[in-house]
Amino acid sequence: MLGVELFILSLYLALISGTELTFELPDNEKQCFYEELEEGVTFHIDYQVIAGGNYDVDCFVSDPLNNALYTEHKKQYDSLTHTTTMKGVYKVCFSNEFSTFSHKTVYLDFRAGDADRLLPGMSKATSLTQMESTCISIHEILKVVSDTQTRYRLREAQDRIRAEELNGRIFYWSIGETFIICVVGIGQVLMLKSFFREKKMNSI
């Protein structure tokens, strides 16, 4: 029975999850995402730059009438919670137009609406059975686990990208160092040859 409840909880989490994506934002470019929402719907936006440049980006959120709801410049990460006042298409834009050469990798998590009650007919005044209480506890723990996994995925992505950048710098530095050693070695050989050549000319 508990296995069935866990399966139902898994389906529930899959149904209420919002849009979560990671995308590339080239230099001198702007990308926008659109979502049609009803009036009175609360939406949440979390974003973070996980790679590129100084890890910053411009973010703009506007309502269907193109009124600015949120405007931030050169932010590494931030969150926004807003309740809609009208029905229509809401726009979320990320801009890297201030950068001339660095690409950015941006993580976006967009969630709209409040989660439905976990169990049908459940309210604050309703007494819960032990099974229902267990289901709610598991549900809350799963939400915490999901959020923790997201944070660790972002941290792992940042560390991996920095490690790859460091590895690339070490690789090119090693190539340059090898080239310099070869040039110095060849120069020393030629210098030694010139010494012996001068001795031969003096003996003649």
The structure's pTM equals 0.61
Phi and psi, residue 82, nearest 5°: -145, 145
Overall CATH class of domain 2-113: mainly beta
pLDDT one digit per residue (tens) for the chain, 204 residues: 434 333 333 334 334 446 778 888 888 889 999 999 888 888 888 888 888 888 889 999 999 999 999 999 988 888 888 899 899 999 999 999 888 888 888 888 888 876 555 555 555 545 667 777 777 788 778 877 877 787 777 778 777 877 888 888 899 999 999 999 999 989 888 888 877 776 655 655
Instruction: Sketch the domain layout of the chain as residue ranges.
Output: 2-113
Distance, in Å, from the CA atom of 4 to the CA atom of 66, rounded to the nearest integer, reads 46
Cα angle 145, 149, 152 (rounded to 5 degrees) comes to 140
Report which of 64, 98, 54, 57 is spatially closest to residue 78, judged by C-alpha positions.
57
